[in-house]
Amino acid sequence: MTQESRRRLCIDFGTSNTAAAYRIGLAEPVIVPLGAGGPAMPSAVFADDSGIVVGHDAVHRRVQAPDAYEDSPKSRIDEGEIELGDRFWPIEDLIGAVLRHVHRTALRHSGLPEFDSIILTHPDKWSERRKGVLRRAAERAGISAGRLRIASESLAAAWYYVYRGHDVAGDERMCVFDFGAGTCDVAVLIRAGADDFTVTGSGGDNNLGGRDLDARMTRWVLEEAAEIDPELPARLRAPAAAIALADHVRSAKEALSDTAQAAIELPGTRHTLLLTRREFESMIAPFVDRAVELTRDAIARADAAGTGPKGPVIVYVTGGTSSIPMLQSALSSVGRVARIGDPKVVVAQGGLLRSTNVDVHDAAGAQQYAARPADPPRPATVDASARRIAFPTVPSGAVISGVLARSGQVVRAGEPLATLDSPSGRLTLDAPMAGTLHGLDLRPGVVAQPGVVFGAVGPADLRPEQWSQLHRAPAGISATQPAAPPQPAYAPPQAIHGQPQPSYPPGRQPGYPPVSPAGAQPIPASSSGINTYGLVGLILGILGFPICLGTIVGMAVTLIGINRAEGQRGPLLMTALGVNILGTIAWIALLIWSFASG
């Protein structure tokens, strides 16, 4: 088939969002409208007995059964199987459902009976095993191995910019900065002849994305809502309201890329908050600084590799979050920033613009990925005590307010992992069992959804591919008094009633100390002891007034009683304090009068 007649589809399956474009022959790529109001759709899935639902429909159904919802199947590609609802689902089936929906939507939009080839993009750092999972998922979506191609996301973005007339020349280097909703990826490329690129350095953070900015904005909204009505944040945390609020926050974030201010409607109320770009930029500054740091690190790795020129860097941005003006301004400190078109669909279009930048496999060669035995074998046994940790049943609208533990930390059963703010007050999320924490995914501002897995606990050598064999255990939940956020500096915990202190494994950073059991409070002095000091101080203050020494001793006894009361001010203590202060003033006045009168 000639180049002029080929019909190709490219799917950019992202961590949080998915985009697609198709091209017929040498015509311009056509973006597939996957979203209700834009080109991308959520990569989320919802699976129950009736089947798998994807995209916006999955997001809307998560209120019905939160434990059947997964917002990022791509981030769990190493797990083999994911427990959703009452059963385990192969990761290939979940990803395949997303790809099938996109494929069918593209066919309807194009009016074509079929595409001659379908290209799937992937991060540069992906292993062959992950690429194999992607291929199997495509086959389950009805995409035959003979039509399937895969392409690096950074190369797809690079060829898009070349196609638009923004190539690098001489010793210039191209830095593809992909800041999406779920991850931030950076790759440095150099020209390898006239027809190719070579990646010389890469980096990124799988836990940095637009969702972090959304969570920070949501926290601001809840704080402002509390000023309007103290009961309002609890109503906004209810599942249906939280989903609507998330949409409003995301819309405001996108609007602030083009306007100086944006309105955020509070669902179920008549209230609207106004957020200015200056306020928004002050909120996201730490995330922007982190993204620029990742870019500098990737360039430094490319320099250290010594495999190409070290000339000027041109930063080509892609991913929806990269549209933020403050971010592009910060990246200009690294190199000249270039942005063309909609960053959300740059990769999907670029995958169609260069046929030699894809990893092509014929039908026979692709069979090496067809069967699960091609994956590294799973261990025969897993520690029977290991568990995946899920959110327990909590009051509707409970939201994570603080994280008290992290992956790699050794915890005791019942040790606090996070705090939750709920309509019924401050709650503590506790470890269901003792062991080492793995893959902990707890972020402040996120609504706690009962049944949703957020980590695992077990032996120190527990690996991600073993998670699918673990049973799910709900975390403990207990009421606690509001407490200040944990401090990053480590202070050795005090012993409580002679309990042994937890040991820390070798090499553990002490920045996140174990937290004392929920509800453990300092033991105040007994009320009888406080009253004794107050009574003695009062008697000495009254009867000892004729002599100065009695007032001094009475004041001293009273102050000792106040100190032992740890801030508690009983009426007896305060009366004794007042009497002794008056006695002291009287003696001072008497002394002054005596000296003055000679």
* Residue 471 burial class via C-beta count within 10 angstroms: exposed 0-12, middle 13-18, buried 19 and up: exposed
Backbone angles phi, psi at 245, to 5 degrees: -65, -40
Distance CA 590, CA 586 (A): 6
Q: Write the DSSP string, 313-342.
A: EEEEEESGGGG-HHHHHHHTTTSEEE--S-
Give the strand pairing for 7-13 and 117-122: parallel
Residue 489 in this model has a pLDDT that exceeds 50? no
**CATH number of this structure's domain 3-158+344-369:** 3.30.420.40
128, with CB counted inside 10 A (0-12, 13-18, 19+), is: exposed
- Give the tens place of pLDDT for each residue, 365-374: 333 333 333 3
pLDDT of residue 482: 46
Tens digit of each residue's pLDDT (9 = 90 or more) over 137-190: 999 999 999 999 999 898 898 888 888 877 777 788 889 999 988 789 999 988
Question: pLDDT per residue over 39-54, tens digit each?
Answer: 889 999 999 888 999 9
167-339 and 387-479 have identical folds: no
Distances (CA, A) of 227 to 461, 546, 578: 47, 56, 39
Q: Which residues contact 406 (CB under 8 A, 6 or more apart)?
A: 437, 440, 512
Architecture of the domain whose range is 387-479: Beta Barrel (2.40)
More confident residue, 30 or 579: 30
E strand segments, 471-518: 471-474, 476-479
d(CA 565, CA 567): 6
Please provide the DSSP assignment of 209-220 as one string: SHHHHHHHHHHH
pLDDT given at position 264? 94
Domain residues of the chain, as ranges? Answer: 3-158+344-369, 167-339, 387-479, 527-597
Q: What is the pLDDT of residues 509-560, one digit of tens each?
A: 333 333 333 333 333 444 444 456 556 666 666 666 566 666 677 777 667 7
Query: Three-state SS string across 273-296, please?
Result: EEEEHHHHHHHHHHHHHHHHHHHH
Closest listed residue to residue 115, CA positions, set 80, 148, 78: 148
Q: Is the pLDDT of residue 302 over 50?
A: yes
pLDDT of 391 strictly over 60: yes
Cα radius of gyration rounded to whole Å, the chain: 31
Tell me the Ramachandran region of residue 212: left when phi exceeds 0, alpha when psi lies from -120 to 50, beta otherwise: alpha
pLDDT above 60 (res 508): no
Q: Tell me which residue of 317, 320, 78, 336 sits closest to 186, measured CA to CA.
A: 317
Provide the CATH topology of domain 167-339.
Answer: Nucleotidyltransferase; domain 5 (3.30.420)
% of the chain surpassing 90 pLDDT: 32
- Whose CA is closest to 378, among 449, 459, 464, 445? 464
